């Protein structure tokens, strides 16, 4: 079980690293001057590769978490409301990941009307989600 936990932590940390950096690329894409085709294409390529890589990290992170929850029974029983709260945060992170994919499609199609300032704020969401998840796991307030 400790190996499963260790790999879960590594994949989650790597997944979040990608979710921290991907919106930063969106900020740069939103700031590209009209006519800078090479710069735009380079940023789009970086964003696509990073999204693909973070998706490949998210799958084992979620699978190992499910294994710990369902297979080992971690978080079952009374006094484990923290796990349900953590699972809600996980669903929010998955939704954020999906939102990144949708935003990338819009940026590639040049249909996004979001400013670089909006993307800077969007970039802060995974920090808050990670903070809440860590507090829920370490402190277990429920």
Q: What is the pLDDT of residues 8-60, one digit of tens each?
A: 899 999 999 999 999 999 999 999 999 999 999 999 999 999 999 999 999 99
Q: Which residue numbers belong to the known binding site?
A: 8, 86
The model's confidence at residue 131, banded by pLDDT at 50, 70 and 90, is very high
* Residues 6 or more apart in contact with residue 121 via CB below 8 angstroms: none
Q: Which of 96, 103, 118 is nearest to 27 (CA)?
A: 118
Q: How many CB atoms lie within 10 A of CB 125?
A: 16
Is-above-0.85 flag for pTM? yes
Binding site per annotation, positions for heme: 8, 86
Q: Is 98 left (phi over 0), alpha (psi -120 to 50) or beta?
A: alpha
Evaluate whether 119 touches 27 at the Cβ level (below 8 Å). yes
Asked if pLDDT for residue 74 goes beyond 90, the answer is no
């Amino acid at each position: 079980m400790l190996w499963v936990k260790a790999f879960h932590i590594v994949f989650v940390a790597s997944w979040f690293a990608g979710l921290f950096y991907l919106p930063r690329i969106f900020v740069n894409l939103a700031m590209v001057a009209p006519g800078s085709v090479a710069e735009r294409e380079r940023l789009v390529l970086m964003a696509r590769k990073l999204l693909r890589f973070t998706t490949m990290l998210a799958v084992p992170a979620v699978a190992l978490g499910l294994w710990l929850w369902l297979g080992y029974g971690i978080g079952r029983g009374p006094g484990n409301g923290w796990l349900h709260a953590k699972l809600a945060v996980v669903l929010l992170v998955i939704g954020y990941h999906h939102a990144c994919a949708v935003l990338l499609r819009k940026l590639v199609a040049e249909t996004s009307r979001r400013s670089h300032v909006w993307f800077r704020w969007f970039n802060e969401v995974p920090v808050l989600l990670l903070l809440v998840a860590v507090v829920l796991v370490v402190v277990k307030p429920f």
